[in-house]
């Protein structure tokens, strides 16, 4: 895993969120992007650091929304 790959995963994650009207769970992101769970979380971290997403825990799910 390197920074370039994480950037690509972040792009795929952002596109999936954008296509889903701005909100998906981690489970939904895995399905939409075909990424592994650790790859989705790396992408979420990248996007969160850039101030592009918000992450919330809702019951047993982690929801990610575009800002």
Q: How is the chain classified by DSSP, letter by letter? A: --HHHHHHHHHHHHHHHHHTTTEEEHHHHHHHH---HHHHHHHHHHHHHTT-EEEEEETTEEEEEE-
Q: What size, in residues, is the chain?
A: 67
Q: How many domains does the chain have?
A: 1
Q: Give the CATH number of the domain where residue 37 resides.
A: 1.10.10.10
Cα gap 32→21, rounded to integer Å: 13
Q: What pLDDT, in 10s, does the model give residues 7-65?
A: 999 999 999 999 999 999 999 999 999 999 999 999 999 999 999 999 999 888 999 99
Q: What are phi and psi of 41, to 5 degrees?
A: -65, -35
Domain encompassing residue 35: 3-66
DSSP code of 43? H
How much is the pTM?
0.93
């Amino acid at each position: 895993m390197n920074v370039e790959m994480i950037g690509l995963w972040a792009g795929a994650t952002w596109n999936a969120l954008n296509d889903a009207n701005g909100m998906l769970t981690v489970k939904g992101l895995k399905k939409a992007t075909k990424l592994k769970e650790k790859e989705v979380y790396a992408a979420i971290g990248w996007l969160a650091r850039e101030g592009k997403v918000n992450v919330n825990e809702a019951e047993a799910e982690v929801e990610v929304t575009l800002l």
